[in-house]
Structure 1
Amino acid sequence: MPAIDAPTQFIETNGRRLAYRTLGEGQPLLLCTRFRGNLDCWDPAFLDALAAAGFRVITFDYSGLGLSSGTATYNPFMMANDPRDLIEALGLREVVIGGWSLGGLVAQVVVALHATHVSHAVLLGTTPPGPIVKPAEELFFTTAAREVNDFEDEVILFFEPRSPESRAAARRSADRIAARTQDRSPPVPVEFARANLSSDHAAPIFPALPVLEALRATTVPILHIAGDHDIIFPVENWYALNGTLPTVQLLTYPSAGHGPHHQHPEASAQHIAAFVRTTSRRAAAT
């Protein structure tokens, strides 16, 4: 079953109902979505390529957003309860925890606090915790706060507007996402999203030093996939930590932005599969 046809399912856990979708068979890969994201913000080509690579791909709506019930929050420490509870409720083991943008912060908290059943982490266009060397561009805040983001906004937010190839990839990705016309998840309320944008645009978006310390000590292999011009979470902040994060591998696509896995869905899936296949917690600990 392709991603655009995967039915929405629900599971009751710890007092709320979480909406999720699953496709493929194999090692579970649980994906945490981005700021203002829901079940329908993932490129189906990326999800299908992951399933074809041997993963059971699971996407979900955060508590209180989309089709999930409960209390909505954009605090990554509280949001991490959703993937933690899904792992337990679905009986998942040896989970690859993945996260895009804000979801990457959530995935890092899972690695730091709830890694019992986690084998690997895959981070997509996100930021490391703690101090940063390069802040987000002002263009992100003005674009992300608009009530409705049109195609040009999506090019700005997730691709590289100066690259014709990236623009063409953006068009293809948007068309694939729009191909699902039924059983869609409601958009995140713009008022909720705006209220969670920082007023200090130069400050670190994830000033979580305990998580940074946990990443410095973890044995969980971590892959970060980025574009070379991410206006939200510049990849330079990861390279500034070279030599201090013992399990982190960095992959950076040229002429790409905040959604590298949407610009290069099949290649990103293949990189993730190779990373999971060739690394392990045991190897990282030695």
Structure 2
Amino acid sequence: MISLGKSLFLVFVFAILGSGSLPAQAAPFKAEVKYAQVGEVKLAYYTRGKGEPMLMIMGYAGSMSLWDPALVEELAKTNLLIMFDNRGIGFSTDTKENQTSIPQMADDAAGLVKALGYKKVNLLAWSMGARIGQQLMIRHPDLIKKGVLCAPDPGGSHSVHMEPSVAATFNNPKLTFLENVELLFTNDPAGKQAAKDSLGRIHSAAQNGSALNDFAVSQETKDRQIIARTKLWSADESNYENLKNIKIPVLVADGRDDLIDRPENSKIIASQIPFAWLAFYDGGHAFLYQQYKKFADTVKVFLEK
């Protein structure tokens, strides 16, 4: 004798078989590169997720493919992520004459937001991208709803610089990828494991198409960005002064052992921006990769307030 529970189960099975199909499963995400004309350059970008739009600005010599997939997956649960290549990086074009500066790249980012038809976006910017992010909030405040600055630097005489030995390595135009990674994570077992895990995720995402295989950076672009983030940024005293005029909510975050953009810089910036949040995490410059879940949870709470 067949029980009621088994009868219902058989009805379900026969219904599925009769329809000739099993319950549909969501197809795996595939990144699709798109382009937007912004002034004289064409910026490459792709989007992922759902929710309010969030513009993500990558740092020095980094393409949109270098965002850690674990962080992207967490953020994409509640945000429509807009990841793009700065001018001259990856799939984006650049001008023949060098126009690269932090303010110029901020204007590029603003132009991308407008080209995509958004009136306002949230912002998440890391490293040199956080310098661009500061300028974006200063120069185009009407475009940004809330901002998250990761490992930022205030510029000018207010910057707390990296140690000379670290600067010599990091600012070397011939810096290898692995040498760069060693500076991003802490030099301890936890940091080394985090670096290995993060690189594995980035490689896998590029291979399976969930992120773009978009890592090319020319030597000329590296040289231009080095000038922008060192000589020009060090001479800019206005950025720090203008931070006090930012009216939108801002979260400033860094790793406690950041060797590149020292944690003291985050304190300086947070104290200058009215009512800014300040958070520190275990890890170095790439704390948001090493502590991606904790960081993403903080961002979620910040954006929901």
With normalisation by structure 1, the TM-score equals 0.85
* Residue 38 (structure 2) pairs with residue 26 (structure 1): no
Bigger Rg, structure 1 or 2: 2
Unpaired stretches in structure 2, ≥5 consecutive residues: 1-25
Residue 58 of structure 1 aligns with which residue?
A: 82
How much identity, in percent, do the aligned residues show?
A: 26
Q: Which moved more, 1:256-265 or 1:2-11?
A: 2-11
* Residue 235 (structure 2) pairs with residue 187 (structure 1): no
CA RMSD of aligned residues (A): 2.7
Unpaired stretches in structure 1, ≥5 consecutive residues: 279-286
1:256-275 superposed matches below 5 A: 256-275=283-302
Task: Write the distance in 1 (CA, Å) between the matches of 2:28 and 2:257.
Answer: 28
Residue 9 of structure 2 aligns with which residue?
A: none
Where has structure 1 moved over 6 Å in runs of 4 or more? 1-4
Q: 1:269 to 1:56 in 2, by over 3 A?
A: same
2:151 to 125, 131, 134: 125
Q: 1:178 to 1:144 in 2, by over 3 A?
A: farther
User: How much does 1:104 deviate?
Assistant: 0.6
Task: Write the distance in 2 (CA, Å) between the matches of 1:221 and 1:2.
Answer: 36
In structure 2, give the amino acid aligned to 1:270. D
Q: 1:142 to 1:50 in 2, by over 3 A?
A: same
CA displacement 1:106-128 (0-9 Å, x = unmatched): 11001001111211111111212
1:28-177 superposed matches below 5 A: 28-52=53-77, 54-71=78-95, 73-132=99-158, 134-137=160-163, 138-145=165-172, 147=174, 149-151=176-178, 153-161=179-187, 163-177=188-202
Q: 1:125 to 1:241 in 2, by over 3 A?
A: closer
Question: Contact 1:39–1:61 at 8 Å: present in 2 too?
Answer: yes
Question: Contact 2:141–2:246 at 8 Å: present in 1 too?
Answer: no
Q: 1:55 to 1:139 in 2, by over 3 A?
A: same
Task: Write the distance in 1 (CA, Å) between the matches of 2:100 and 2:172.
Answer: 15
Q: Which SS does the other structure have where 1:247 is aligned?
A: coil
Task: Write the distance in 2 (CA, Å) between the matches of 1:158 and 1:4.
Answer: 28
In structure 2, give the amino acid aligned to 1:82. D
Count of residues in correspondence between the two structures: 273
Question: Contact 1:95–1:119 at 8 Å: present in 2 too?
Answer: yes
1:6 to 9, 31, 34: 31
Q: Which SS does the other structure have where 2:80 is aligned?
A: strand
Choose between structure 1 and 2: higher helix proportion.
Answer: 2
With normalisation by structure 2, the TM-score equals 0.80
